[in-house]
Amino acid sequence: MQDNLAVKNFMIKIIFISDIVGKIGRNTVRQYLPLLKKKYNPDLVIANAENLAHGIGFTSKTLDEMRDSGVDFFTTGNHAWKKAGSDDILNDKKFPIIRPANYKDKRSGVGYKVVKIGKKKLVVVNLLGRVFILDELESPFKVMEKIIKKAGTKNIIVDFHAEATSEKVAFGQYFDGKVSAVIGTHTHVQTADDRILKGSTAYISDVGMVGYSDSIIGANKEQIFNLFLEKGKSSKKHDLPEYGPAEFDAVYLEIDDKKGGSLKMKRINKIIEVKEIVSKK
């Protein structure tokens, strides 16, 4: 019993939720996250918030909604500044949120934060890939090296928001043994390559999404068909139902607080029938 207790005391347990898309995504988190927290009893719940509000960007209201549903900390991506008020939110210390650290120009907010979990310390980092996204970014590799030098702990989890799997795999392998986990986001399609690398870094190319399951990466199918068939431009607003079948993608992590490596990574993929909220009044 003492040995098991010691292992537990040296462990940080994390649920990382993939890109939450629109209101149906938020309703999915509201409905399913409490069940996951009861099962895994995490120390920290992190979610990617760049698609929270109508599928593009976030607002203070949508962030508060997710905090009320059990999310503790938020990462973002290339849509971090799509909504009015984003600068104020990213600069407001009351919001536990970060944006990609490797923009060349001066932006609001910060690219990483230290999260205290009791006496334990975890650094959460957000980086954006350059392949097929934004060439004018600083190298995520070089920026990450600088962050590691400043971190003051081996317990580091990275949301690498990138398009190309080659860039993601290269990033994971390069920082194997230097960070606790590299978690890919952005494509909204969960990959089946979750594993612990040789240096004890947990890795997955993409966690997936939380959103309407009968969609194309969380967006209305007809709007996307129009893009590929060259019938017109897709609306920036995601015309999706608020309830119905939804996909919930996430990973569960166990990090060795003393050594900084990951002990376990479990992929979570669940189709949920999201029900309408019934008022108790």
| Within-domain flag for 79 | yes
What domain count does the chain have?
A: 1
Domain residues for the domain of 115 are 2-274
CATH number for the domain harbouring residue 42? 3.60.21.10
What is the pLDDT, as a whole number, of residue 226? 79
What is the pLDDT, as a whole number, of residue 99? 97
| Within-domain flag for 230 | yes
| pLDDT tens per residue, range 114-133 | 999 988 999 999 999 999 88
Q: Going along 60-188, which residue ranges are E strands? A: 73-75, 112-117, 120-128, 156-161, 181-185
| Within-domain flag for 281 | no
| Within-domain flag for 51 | yes
What is the pLDDT, as a whole number, of residue 2? 35
Residues ≥6 apart with Cβ < 8 Å to 83: 53, 56, 57, 58, 59
Q: Which of 54, 79, 161, 186 is catalytic?
A: 79
pLDDT-above-90 percentage for the chain? 75
| Within-domain flag for 260 | yes
| pLDDT tens per residue, range 160-175 | 999 999 999 999 999 9
| Within-domain flag for 279 | no
What is the pLDDT, as a whole number, of residue 237? 56
Is 79 among the catalytic positions? yes
Mean pLDDT for 38-48 is: 97
Mean predicted lDDT score pLDDT of the chain: 90
Looking at per-residue pLDDT, the higher value among 181 and 225 belongs to 181
| Within-domain flag for 280 | no
Range 26-29, long-range pairs (CB < 8 A, 24+ positions): 26/52, 26/62, 26/65, 26/66, 26/69, 27/242, 27/243, 27/246, 27/274, 27/277, 28/210, 28/211, 28/246, 28/247, 28/248, 28/272, 28/274, 29/66, 29/69, 29/70, 29/71, 29/210, 29/248
pLDDT of 13 > 50? The answer is yes
| Within-domain flag for 112 | yes
